[in-house]
Structure 1
Amino acid sequence: MTPHTTPRSGRRTRRALAGLLPMLLAAPMALASGGPSSAAEPGPEELDPGQFQGVNWARPGDNFADEPLVLEGLDAADDYDTVRAKADAVYGGFQETGVNTVRLPVNTKSVGTPWWDAYTGAIDAATAKGLKVVLSYWEDGASSDGRITDTAAFDSMWDTVADKYADDDHVYFEPMNEPHGYSATEWADLAATWITDRPRIPKDRIFISGTGYNDEVKSVCADSRLDGTYLSLHHYAFGKEAKDYDGWVADLKNGIGDCASRTVLDEFGAPMDDEPDTGFDYNDADSGENFVRYLRADTDTVRDLGMGAIYWPALGGKHQERPTYDYYSLFALQGTGTELSLTPRNPSGIDRLKHAWGHDAGRRG
């Protein structure tokens, strides 16, 4: 698959070429004066969030778990080669829909354990296919209180992950998913410390979550210590009052502020059942269904603002409304062993993702 290229990436290349000569001329002067020799961190105009066109692959029952994270389709008894073969089949299904990014969870009960040795097969299978991988920490405690469960274990986990993948340009790092147990100031301090403690990881391969449940990115966007990083935002319809299309656009933009040039919507989703009594047609611009208005608003806004979009979930997730699968999940997993395949639950939902990623010529609204 050829990843979608946004117009911003071409502008960024031309700016880089135009700026090369003065940088070369200035380098000797900086060295002579004892100035820093490291490259300047990327500014917002040099980041390209639209390059991230992806899905989440999760553990059945969600990723908040006080145990190793065994993704849907994998088995705790699988070795590295088996995990890699299964993941390769799953990613083939993802790529058929235009996916170029997969977001995967990590926790301290997985990294550094025998399961980690096997789990890396899922990461390596993705990068071998040219997929980008976003690794995100879910707190691994029964309380799921939005705070790091064990700071020493957290730091050790990330050091282990960084030692293995810091030099792999396909791998991105999200220090924590939904840090809702911290105030905005506490979270910014924690994120800044995480960055300082891992200088090998370039800032443009770091995703800093928005505050709360990744509800808004304006506060982290304003913190200069976090400049040069991507920002991750989550936006859902559940738990909110129903809105019309324009209301959902406004609700999403309120969480973004002026930070769209750095922001990836790395969780959003809606029911994907495709049955007569429960299925929604997300291609129906005149639908009176709240979820349809929401998903159309999100996918239009992502496309209009050149943001990235990573859907939750492709596989795995909560088993609440449905006993055997998350009814937001994009795919049904079929097959046994390493012979796995995917079937879209609701093709109109896939259509809207492709629209967000710019893979169609669909109309707005």
Structure 2
Amino acid sequence: MTRFLLRAAMIAVLVAPLLAVPPAASGATNGFRGVNWADARDNYVDGWVIPTGLTAGDSYDTVHTKADGIITGFQQQLGANTVRLPVNPQSVNSDWWSRYKGAIDSALAHGMNVILGYWEANKDGLVDDLAAWNTMWDKVTADYGGNGNVYFEPMNEPFGYSLNAWVSLCSTWLSRHSGIPRGRVVISGTGYNDNVTGVGAASALTGTLLSLHFYGYWASDTTRAAWTTNLSNRLGSYSSRTIIDEAGAPMTTGLDYSAGHQDGNNFTAYFAATTDLARSRQIGVVYWPGLRSGDTYSITRQSGSGLAVNNASGVVQLRWGWGL
């Protein structure tokens, strides 16, 4: 079947839930077929992180029940097996953590991989408070370190650090949490997670996974070829360790991401190149966002207790990138 026919056929298919699959031992990360579930205010908040659909007054049981519908939606509507969720000290070092865990526990009960990543509040690319950050990670790893489907991302977008300073901070984290297998630690690329060549080459970080972010508004190119070169340069020789754990494009503006409608538009060319390269190199992709109210990139929206798709052609293109 040609690639075009495959995509067309997939639009009409209701995706069956897929169980979590860890990264392949041979050196590929395409076992991560994921989405970000994000706070409507963005995850850079000075307070509790509360993903769309949850409220600060929810009990553990309420969070779990709400998450059941949303996680099932990610599985059935998209075919996702991974969800990336934000954490910060304000959330974990408070009573919200005991309730917020309902979302994590729901995802795990549905067989999902869970990536827990730290977002800072000051928006300066630095850990806000090292003592509070350590306390947070001590608690998070104590609660979920024994679950092989949970992955830990010490910091999202560490743009305030030089490469050497970032490697040093990550090395300290790895030493403090030496009981966590390195294959379950996701080290962000430098800058806005925009390049993994430096962290990939750091011997102190050997054995860890790497996190890359990649967005279409970072350049104005309108061809897949240009975007492929852009992304390849950011990956270097570290594709086999890298998860693209943020990549997304407008899904509520009517763009057509299907074959024949890709070159000629900044976002469709970007998204096609990203998913094509991910598929060919067996790189995991965690879409930004799977669900976030008010975000034109959100690939789903709430519908009753579940989810509805915002752009069918975008879903097909994402699933193509996942290798489905």
Q: TM-score, with normalisation over the residues of structure 1? A: 0.81
The reply on whether 1:71 has 2:73 as its aligned counterpart is no
Give the match for residue 242 of structure 1: 221
The reply on whether 1:231 has 2:210 as its aligned counterpart is yes
- Using the alignment, how far apart are the partners of 1:183 and 1:265 within structure 2? 21
Give the match for residue 109 of structure 1: 90
8 A contact 1:100–1:132 mirrored in 2? yes
Give the match for residue 248 of structure 2: 269
Instruction: Give the counterpart letter for 1:140 in structure 2.
Output: A
The reply on whether 1:329 has 2:294 as its aligned counterpart is no
Of 64, 67, 89, the residue aligned with 1:84 is 64
Of 339, 343, 346, the residue aligned with 2:308 is 343
The reply on whether 1:305 has 2:278 as its aligned counterpart is no
- Using the alignment, how far apart are the partners of 2:226 and 2:20 within structure 1? 29
* Unaligned residue ranges in structure 1 (runs of 5+): 13-45, 317-323, 360-365
8 A contact 2:18–2:75 mirrored in 1? no
- Using the alignment, how far apart are the partners of 1:157 and 1:119 within structure 2? 14
Match runs of 1:104-143 below 5 Å: 104-141=85-122
3-state SS of the aligned residue for 1:51?
coil
RMSD across aligned positions (CA)? 1.5
1:239 Cα deviation (Å)? 3.5
- Using the alignment, how far apart are the partners of 1:333 and 1:193 within structure 2? 40
- Using the alignment, how far apart are the partners of 2:186 and 2:27 within structure 1? 12
- Using the alignment, how far apart are the partners of 1:239 and 1:215 within structure 2? 10
8 A contact 1:47–1:230 mirrored in 2? no
Bigger radius of gyration among the two: 1
1:332 Cα deviation (Å)? 1.2
Say which is worse superposed, 240-249 or 190-199, in terms of deviation.
240-249
Give CA-to-partner distance per residue, 1:175-234, whole Å, 9 cap, x none.
000000001111111111110110111100000000000010000000111111100000
Of 275, 291, 296, the residue aligned with 1:315 is 291
Q: Percent identity?
A: 45
The reply on whether 1:218 has 2:204 as its aligned counterpart is no
Instruction: Give the counterpart letter for 1:82 in structure 2.
Output: T
- Using the alignment, how far apart are the partners of 1:3 and 1:249 within structure 2? 30
8 A contact 1:252–1:298 mirrored in 2? yes
- Using the alignment, how far apart are the partners of 1:286 and 1:56 within structure 2? 26
Instruction: Give the counterpart letter for 1:269 in structure 2.
Output: G
Instruction: Give the counterpart letter for 2:130 in structure 1.
Output: T
Number of paired residues? 306
- Using the alignment, how far apart are the partners of 1:213 and 1:206 within structure 2? 18
8 A contact 2:33–2:82 mirrored in 1? yes
1:112 Cα deviation (Å)? 2.3
Of 246, 253, 271, the residue aligned with 1:295 is 271
3-state SS of the aligned residue for 1:49?
coil
Give the match for residue 256 of structure 2: 281
